[in-house]
Copies of this chain bind each other. A is one copy, B any other.
Amino acid sequence: MQKKRKLGRGVAVVGAGMSKFGMFRDKDSKDVFAEAFRDMLASVDKGLDPSDIDALYLGNFSNDFFIHQAHWGPLMSDLIGLVPKPATRTEGACASSALAFREGVFAIASGFYDMVLVGGVEEMSKRTTEEVAEGLALATVPYEGEVGFTFPGVFGAVATAYFAKYGAGREHLMNVTIKSHNNAPLNPKAQYPFSIKDMMQKKAQSAEKKGQPVPEWEDEKAFLGDPRANPAVAWPMHLFDCCPISDGASCMLLVSEEMAGNFTDDPLHVIGIGQGSGRGFHASDSLTSFEATRYAANEAYGMSGLTPEDIQFSEVHDCFSIAELIHIEDLGFFKPGEGYKAVEEGLTRLDGSKPINTSGGLKCKGHPVGATGISQLYEVWTQLRGKAGERQVPSNDLRIGAAHNLGGTGGTCTFTILERR
């Protein structure tokens, strides 16, 4: 039985920003973080004097490895003019910036600081795909990496176990991919802002141009089932089951609840912050559920007094299509073994009863690992404030959204619930 946790002082979100995600030859970590910071500044309704920021928390997985530079806290503090204010880097693999968010919440709830900038950044595209795979494998547990398990392999094993246990198949993974790719064109900051249908058309046009035989696919699943269009990476994970290599940054401005009115009449309130840790799969009791996610979810639900039914929409960590199915079950949105049916029925679509990854998810929005956690919360901010444009969740009373972030092979998981009042 987990204890029910609460904060001694309420914390509100009054600004949020995100860079375009993508693979940028001509932009580095500082460029994308500055882009996210400027975007955040513009989002603060009543304006902000950046010199009022008390501290910075920055999530980064391993720019140490990717671009041979560590110690990013003070580099970013300098970039945005915060020196000599404190700057702390957090790392929890792909959940690094969700940890930064949480530490920012604690720093304010403790009474020590009143206004904290939290953010994340990663610069991955300067390395080859093989090098990125090597870098990401730093986040697996030693027993996994040593036997050659890179991430597609790990999640391939998860999918295989899920299929065997619940009778699902590749077509159910395709449903996840198709859904995320339908949301992505509606998100101007997404790395891959196109639907699977767009992609089919593009491939056909390209073949026509080159005078090659024009491929014809009956529908999206036929395309995703065609190994020339969607080759296997680690069965059953194919190319379109896997998130891309990305560069990008994200940030949010947190203040004490009592101060929020100075910055906006429409703040979001941090009502649930859960985090858990997990073992490698060699020591886990299940291949189809993450203990750390369940713990994080219980902590956040306990703090908020809410149940999974109360969460109106959520970003979840779809590093691979199968991961989305696992998470929507672990978070209690759907029963174990029912997630793939819910997706098939369209419940997780933008117009479904429980929209999941309206941003396009890691799959389409991109996954600059250290930036992802707060970019998910940026989507929650955007939706709850009614600024999501064409991808706005259709509701007259959108009040509660959440984000789930996963690091490594489930070693670090967070679940964060925001409320608009």
Stretch of A78-86, A117-125, A163-171 at the chain-chain interface: A78-86
Contacts of A61 in B (CB 8 A): 70
| CB–CB A277/B138 < 8 A | no
Q: A7-B112, A111-B8, A412-B74 are in contact. Are A88 and B90 (CB under 8 A)?
A: yes
* CB-CB nearest 7 A-B residue pairs: A8-B111, A74-B411, A109-B110, A86-B275, A84-B295, A70-B138, A74-B277
Residue in chain B with minimal CB distance to A100: B88
Contacts of A32 in B (CB 8 A): none
Residue in chain B with minimal CB distance to A299: B86
Excluding A9-B110, A88-B99, A89-B90, 16 further A-B contacts by CB distance (< 8 Å) are A7-B112, A8-B109, A8-B111, A64-B64, A68-B138, A70-B93, A71-B138, A71-B139, A71-B408, A71-B411, A74-B141, A75-B411, A85-B295, A86-B277, A106-B106, A109-B110
Whether, in the assembled complex, A20 has its beta carbon less than 8 Å from a beta carbon of chain B, the answer is: no
Whether, in the assembled complex, A291 has its beta carbon less than 8 Å from a beta carbon of chain B, the answer is: yes
| CB–CB A111/B109 < 8 A | yes
Query: Complex: how many Å from CA A140 to CA B105?
Result: 29
Contacts of A106 in B (CB 8 A): 103, 106-107, 109-110, 112
Q: How far does the Cβ of A57 sit from chain B's closest Cβ, in whole Å? A: 9
| CB–CB B5/A294 < 8 A | no
Whether, in the assembled complex, A69 has its beta carbon less than 8 Å from a beta carbon of chain B, the answer is: yes
